[in-house]
Amino acid sequence: MAIYFVGDIQGCYNELDALLNQVGFSSNSDQLYVAGDLVARGPNSLETLRFIKSLGKNAKIVLGNHDLHLLAVYQGIKKVKKQDLLTTLLAAPDAASLMQWLIQQPLIQKLPNEETYMSHAGLSPQWTPKVAMEQAEIAHQHLTSSASQTWLRNMYGEQPTSWQNANDDLERFRFTINSLTRMRYCHADGSLDFNCKESPASAPKTLTPWFEFQHISQHTQWIFGHWAALMGKCQPENIYALDTGCVWGQHMTMLRWHDKKIFIEQSHKNQR
């Protein structure tokens, strides 16, 4: 059995399929870990969800910000963004079952028997992996509860930016969603910044990428997506950035875990 991690698919199903063929992925014996943002701005979000769902327990997914927004759109909380290509998905006859499956997915995945984690955006400098796992599970319980619509409606917003200022269940939930699905940069105290999306070379000196806070021990591995501007480059070596901007015309990245080999598939955008 081989374990593969893939960065943001964003509805680029053809590139995902080509990558899986490239590595000889077996849907019966291999496992595919998907670092969130399965859907949105690529042309084949419906096919992507159907395929990942068909893998059953051999697919391990975390929710990204685009996945959560899709769930809010489906429940009538938000409108589809103009740049999102979700019309076919939302009109599909199996949309309800796909949405029910999607909302059941967690915010963090941990590999069994090792300190290896995956979330869409990363790990807040104000958290340990243990705290992150606890808060991710609480958020998961909220999203899958009978009050799911209320929690989805209230996940939007940028406050609080600091875990220390999260004073009630709603604020802790919103901080959890933001840190695990939207975070890129933090201020010196570890609080979240939502304005800068540039590469570290172009960012203001007052901001630090979340992974440079040295809050993840060298014995722990963290895999994330979300940040295409990094193009897979980040330090330290036990942190892996997998969003390489396939939907923007760059390429999709897959990591084979046992030997850390990287596979890429160039975007098919110019072929469409």
What's the CA gap between 139 and 150, in Å, rounded?
12
pLDDT beyond 80 at 272: no
Query: What is the model's pLDDT at position 245?
Result: 97
| Residues forming beta bridges with residue 253, ordered by sequence position | 264
11: Cβ–Cβ under 8 A, 6 or more apart, which residues? 38, 39, 40, 41, 42, 43, 44, 45, 48, 85, 247
In the chain, where the domains are located:
3-271
Exposed / middle / buried, residue 83 (Cβ in 10 Å: 0-12, 13-18, 19+): exposed
Quick check: 256 and 263 in contact, CB under 8 A? Answer: yes
The model's pLDDT over 124-141, given as tens digits with 9 standing for 90+, comes to 999 999 999 999 999 999
pLDDT in tens, 146-163: 999 999 999 999 999 999
Whether 270 shows a pLDDT value over 80: the answer reads no
Q: Measured between alpha carbons, how far apart are the two ends of the chain, in Å?
A: 34
Q: What number does CATH give the domain 3-271?
A: 3.60.21.10
Q: What is the pLDDT of residues 6-49, one digit of tens each?
A: 999 999 999 999 999 999 999 999 999 999 999 999 999 999 99
Q: Is the pLDDT of residue 271 over 80?
A: no
**pLDDT (average), residues 61-69:** 98
Q: How much is the average pLDDT of 233-237?
A: 91
Residue 219 is predicted with a pLDDT of 95
| Tokens representing residue 134 in the block | 């606890």
DSSP category for residue 81: P
Percent of the chain with pLDDT over 90: 96
Residue 235 confidence (pLDDT): 86
Average pLDDT over residues 99-127: 97
Predicted local distance difference test score (pLDDT) of residue 81: 86
pLDDT at 114 over 90: yes
Q: How far is it, in rounded angstroms, from Cα 63 to Cα 252?
A: 18
